[in-house]
Amino acid sequence: MANITLSAVIGLVLAKWAVELWLLHLNHRHVLAHAGAVPEAFKGTVDEQTYTKSVQYTLAKGQLDGVETTFDAALLLLILWSGVLPGGYALATRWLGQSVWAMAGVLFIIAAVLTLPGLPFDWYHQFRLEERFGFNTTSQRVWWADRLKGLVLAVALGYPLLALVLKLVNLLGRWWWLWAWATLLAFQLLMSVLAPVLILPLFNKFTPLPEGSLCDRLLRLAERTRFRARSIQVMDGSKRSRHSNAFFTGFGRFRKIVLFDTLLAQLAETELEAVLAHEIGHFKKKHIPKMLLISALGSLAGLFAVSLLASQDWFYHAFGFAPGNIAPALLLFGLLAGAVTFWFSPLVRWWSRRYEYQSDAFAAEVIKEPGPLVTALRKLNEKNLSNLTPHPVYSGFYYSHPTLLERERALLGDFTTSRHS
């Protein structure tokens, strides 16, 4: 049974790797097929020079993704097949012991070590690929400081939480997974309130949107849509990149509307109002709690699966571990979950794109016309060198947002329909 399990897992990892490369190849060919000239649908939206650059950016990212995907799959197979994982685990437990805090420390150390091989890819993406296409604005010092801060936060928050989960296993027996899920859910909700106040300012500077016509326009929009927010703030996104975004964060009295400074530089006031209306649409349509619920159900299913696997000796033997402690089961689940959840990506992306369409329609209705959002989306796609011609199967696996053409067609069609109904 152990050998069958290991073979099945290796087969699943290889299948995921093969499909990922196939999707990249599919998208690469599709983009190249449209690379000769600006597609008819985008003439007047993007000039030929920018379109050519967006094609080059898409192809460059695809090539890097292909190398990284192959590296990640090879590394995971090496870890599973070589015995280095149980060997490292045994060495760490002999050194630190087997108390709850020690076990949490062992898992944390192994997880931290396993993230190190990915750092060169992250560095290359930021300081070579993004730099080449004019997006990178960060420095080596800021980039490394971000990772150090992330590690410190992981130790301060993740380590005690992991120790608590292991303690629940010891205290509650077979039902530990249910209580662990409730604990993780409570922690997630708490962080959604505290993160905007305590964590985000560690990485970025937030300043109130200056008084003026834009501030007045956005506040009137918030009032018109009954969207209560503590403030409208500008984030120094240009500290790291020329990419732009807008979002709201927090709950209740801690809710904040956040605009990237790069977004303010790229869009007109009417377009910024439309973008914010889209974000408010997510709130009014209750997309955030719905997505949290889906995520929570996924976590519940994952923890239940761990509880079942942790009770099977063959699962431990398949990967070289001795049964009796749940820590290896949690470690293996963290490594292998992606090989399973990958196959559900099209469903998750479809759900996400459905919400984007609904928020677009809400924004057009609130603004009373789709024009400002359409022009905003065109500018954002142009400035971010977005892939305007992705292969439908590729976008189905990876795109949480519809393509520009899909959003425009839906916006103009839905608005026309609503006006005539």
Residues annotated as catalytic are 279
Characterise 205 by phi-psi region: left (phi > 0), alpha (psi -120 to 50), beta (else).
beta
As a whole number of angstroms, the distance between CA 132 and CA 388 comes to 20
Residue count of the chain, please give it.
Answer: 421
Q: How far is CA 51 from the centre of its chain?
A: 26
Element at 249 (helix H, strand E): strand 246-249
Report yes or no: 233 and 257 within 8 Å, Cβ to Cβ.
yes
Report yes or no: 373 and 359 within 8 Å, Cβ to Cβ.
no
Using the structure block, give the residue that is written with the tokens 């009032």.
223
As a whole number of angstroms, the distance between CA 303 and CA 229 comes to 35
Report yes or no: 258 and 249 within 8 Å, Cβ to Cβ.
yes
247: DSSP letter: E
What are the distances in angstroms from CA 205 to CA 245, 261, 375? 15, 11, 28
Task: Tokens for 195, please give them.
Answer: 């993160």
C-alpha angle 382/68/50, rounded to 5°? Answer: 15
> Which residue, among 65, 76, 79, 99, has the nearest Cα to 15 in the 3D structure?
76
Backbone angles phi, psi at 207, to 5 degrees: -130, 145
